[in-house]
Structure 1
């Protein structure tokens, strides 16, 4: 279209929009051929996936319903299938020493490797069929947070993420032991250089405050003994980068942390560490802390004490196994009544946009390729995943993701994606006319109100409303009963505004 044609079309839309309210009924259209999940199913799958694509909705129906789908996702044993799902970044397979030598030799910086890691994290979440596994891996990577942009953490961070994924749907005790003794955690919280002469209290404190029992359940003396227990777990920093246990650096002597006590007489304190972490994993305060965090992440910012009590009891009754707790959570009345009470954070917004729009990402050919841009896109919404500077993990509360700045950033991102502007390489975007339903007669036009209902069902998994129809009419400059054919002018200039109206609606930000 020429500039004059665009200007004329815009003027006609504004003129029509000014009269629509007085002359038109915004009774929502109805296009039930485009199936949607019922509210309970949509609610659960929204909370435990990164956006409900038509394929995922079909998978839920094929499983026999949302609870059957959820149980199947939990029961499928981890088999490493997600490890190489997007095996497009070869540096992520290098050993620690190799990564360090390449960085110190000026071949490729560690921050670039971590950017690869961030892109792979996002791609796994986007395309993995194990959506519950990916969601819970993110939850635990936040709980046991090790920032990917911490000094030189890149030499260990890749394998640390694999350990979290391996135990994300297993037992919390195993997860706690794997994360606490991993060199990434030891280095991030200072334990890699802790000695019996000078115990570093940082990890000993965060182990209690953040990872297990929580504030108010321990004393400063408990922190000191916690640090003493962890001495000996080391890494050969800036040399071989190998993790190892140093008996000569382990503090010996009686230790007591809350109800845990041990003579700790042996130079090799690995058995003491193992017993101590097992004690913490099974502590009732840990059970309540884990239950509370799960409720905040998946139910509501306002935590019902009764639900925490029940989930904590389930956790302890099942030897810290995570799946039974999640099964109890999604079947609780508190979960069922929390529909649309959580706000998508930046990560979920980006991923859901890719998934519901049906954007295809291909193997990257350059830095401009979509698989190498998705992490930048997420960072533009406020925070690059896994880079939160403090050890407590990025916020999951609604207030942190409900600012005007975030809303504007999301709108800009949606507009870029809908128009196919960014990213612009190794990616495929759906063409406007492809959104017309394929299961309808090609000879008959479709009313605009029905097209809006179809789009609402595809993008939001729910029928349209009068408010949404009105907004789409104003965006397109069309009446609700306007006939739409595949070759309609709508798809030439106004279509991006219609899709943006739906993605920028409050409903899309809810999960």
Structure 2
């Protein structure tokens, strides 16, 4: 169902969340808009909203986000059908994966469950299977669904399912690993990237890890079915760090489960996960004391994720970290659409705005889960803090502020939503109205000065619908607000 073009909003100041509440909602969301602010207030404040998002996300109806899955039928086709359609040149795997990226972006724009989306994105980035790949694309959407299922659950359960998932097996060359020729890719990355962390294992650990994981198969290039072949499992005593097992049975699934459980509960894994969470949601150089506290909570709660997030948000380090994280390319795209209130419709043409969103993210540096290496989407600012990225973001903000591109299958708000029909408004007050609407915060003196420089308007100048700013220059004001640190950072 297409979203209706919004009516002009009533004139007047937008009711803002307190700064501490805005910080929590912004860091664990994709930009504060009227719907999100209303959800926070109905929940009784940001802390209550966050708890509800963690434990009862279903209490926030999300049909507007859920319905978008039907826009791209290939996302629900099975691996064999997808492969046949590629072979028959009906639709290539790269096109299906582009649809997956677009779907993720649209979900993030529309969702009322941003914490679930944010944590799904986080784990998909850490337990990374890139969307590029001529084989694992067949299972990649199912892999994302698997991560989403566990994103607010227990890490040990998520690790067990993702490590042996066909997409991961194919990507890291374990889908045809056998006792005669164990492939070490998955065994190594499982320890380095998914659990213990770099430098916390040796080559003997890698060999044993690879042997434990033998037996899992995917019938590549034929049926694409996943199976377990007992005859291909390496048997004999294995030892990885403090984990030992006699491993006598041809069916090695039991030893695999025990091994993955061991890794998930290892103190080094707790440290690795805690550091990545703190880097993503607090700051690039998280204090060691915070990481240690989060790791203890993780272990005390049997790898449950929700208690760790509660502890992170309750920390003084989190409370003092507002504005210290830079939005990555996908987050910038999503936050810009949400801030401008752009209404998206089901794509009807090749140049649809929904298609353009993926090109916008790529132009800023990276579309969803397209990072080519196994180490996953970076969560540090320095990867994205470049002049090229800044210029790319400014170009995107400018084209969207003027409603110049993209334009197909979407609607932008009009300047009349800010400029009163009868009574003129001071320019400084107009900047404040726009800042409250787009950024959910009052305009600072610095932003008013920046907006004055961008538009040529003086602070006390009266703006009405006959003014040049309204007639042809309003994009300069919107772009100045979107280019500000208050939008680029979170």
Q: CA RMSD in A?
A: 1.6
In the alignment, which residue of structure 2 is the partner of 1:44? 24
Greater gyration radius:
1
Instruction: Provide the residue aligned with 2:55 in structure 1.
Output: 75
Cα deviation, 1:405-437, whole Å, max 9, x if unaligned, reads 001000111111111122121100111112237
Q: What SS class does the counterpart of residue 244 from structure 1 fall into?
A: strand
Relative to the length of structure 2, the TM-score reads: 0.95
* 8 Å CA contact 2:135, 2:170 repeated in 1: no
Secondary structure in 2 matching 1:256: strand
2:461 equivalent in structure 1: 482
Q: Is the 8 A contact 1:367 1:373 kept in 2?
A: no
Distance 1:269 1:124 in 2: 39
Question: Are the aligned partners of 2:21 and 2:46 in contact in 1 as well (CA < 8 Å)?
Answer: yes
Which residue in the other structure is 2:402 paired with? 419
SS where residue 129 of structure 1 aligns?
coil
Distance 1:275 1:467 in 2: 57
Secondary structure in structure 1 of the residue aligned to 2:325:
coil
Which residue in 1 is equivalent to 2:8?
none
> 1:443, CA displacement in angstroms?
4.2
Structure 2 residue aligned with 1:216? 199
Partner of 2:265: 282
CA distance in 2, matches of 1:210, 1:277: 14
Q: How does 1:56-455 map to 2 (within 5 A)?
A: 56-76=36-56, 84-436=67-419, 443-455=422-434
Q: 2:34 aligns with which of 49, 54, 68?
A: 54
Aligned to 1:467: 446
Tell me what 1:27 maps to: none
Q: 1:493 — aligned with what?
A: 472
Q: Which has the higher contact order (CA 8 A, sep 6+)?
A: 1
CA distance 1:275–1:83, shift in 2 (3 Å): farther
Q: CA deviation at 1:217?
A: 2.2
In structure 1, stretches of 5+ residues that fail to align are: 1-30
Query: How far off its partner does 1:466 sit?
Result: 1.6
Conserved 8 A contact 2:69-2:75? no
Cα distance, 1:75 vs structure 2 = 0.7
Distance 1:275 1:424 in 2: 53
Query: Which one is further off, 81-90 or 204-213?
Result: 81-90
Are the equivalent residues in 2 in contact too, given 1:314–1:325 (CA < 8 A)? yes
**Corresponding residue of 1:35:** 15
Q: Alignment length, in residue pairs?
A: 477
Q: 1:25-45: per-residue Cα shift (whole Å, max 9, x none)?
A: xxxxxx983222211111111
Aligned 8 A contact 1:78 1:166 in 2 = no
Q: 1:385: Cα distance to partner?
A: 1.7
CA 1:83/1:319 → structure 2, altered by over 3 Å: closer, same or farther? farther
Asked if the contact 1:445/1:485 (under 8 Å) is kept, the reply is yes
Stretch moving more, 216-225 or 242-251: 216-225
SS at match of 1:261: strand
How far the C-alpha of 1:488 sits from its partner, in A, is 3.5
Q: CA deviation at 1:83?
A: 5.5
Report the CA distance shift for 1:486/1:59 in structure 2 as closer, same or farther (over 3 A): farther
Looking at structure 2, the residues matched to 288 and 205 of structure 1 have their Cα atoms a distance apart, in angstroms, of 18
1:484 positional shift: 2.2
TM-score, normalised relative to structure 1: 0.91
**Shift in CA distance, 183/83, structure 1 to aligned 2, threshold 3 Å:** farther
* Distance (Å, rounded) in 2 between the aligned partners of 1:222 and 1:52: 46
User: Which shifted more, 456-465 or 129-138?
Assistant: 456-465
Contact 1:86 1:123 in 2 (8 A): no
Paired residue for 1:16?
Answer: none
Gaps of 5+ in 2: 1-10
On the 8 A contact 2:57/2:116 being kept in 1, the answer is no
Give the C-alpha shift of residue 337 in structure 1: 0.9
Q: What whole-Å deviation, never above 9, does each CA across 1:316-345 have from its counterpart, x for those lacking one?
A: 111111011001101100101111111111
Q: Which moved more, 1:488-497 or 1:347-356?
A: 488-497
Picking from 433, 436, 456, the partner of 1:457 is 436
Report deviation, 1:475. 2.3
2:489 maps to 1:506: no
